Amino acid sequence: MEKPEGKYAWTVTVGTKGQIVIPKEAREVFGIEPGDRLLILADVNQGMAIPPKNTFNDYFQKIFGNKQNKED
């Protein structure tokens, strides 16, 4: 069975401290390096997702808008 191009699936195990290890191939595909921060999005009905690092700003803008702290 061939997999669609650009589509991947991996399994991970949750450790006793709630930690997971991202598989090496996934880290390579997505350029994840030690010390990188990742964003986890979650919905109780749809599950969890880890979007690409370069999309953080887009998500923050969608969630928080262009609001700026302005001191008068």
What is the arithmetic mean of pLDDT over 11-32? 94
Is residue 51 exposed (0-12), middle (13-18) or buried (19+ Cβ within 10 Å)? middle
Instruction: Note the pLDDT of residue 69.
Output: 55
DSSP strands (E only) in 1-72:
41-43, 47-49
Tens-digit pLDDT profile for residues 28-41: 999 999 999 898 88
| Structure token digits, residue 52 | 């690409």
Tens-digit pLDDT profile for residues 41-66: 899 999 998 888 888 888 778 878 86
Q: Which residue has the higher pLDDT, 70 or 53?
A: 53
Q: How far is CA 35 from the centre of its chain?
A: 14
Bridge partner residues of 49 (DSSP): 41
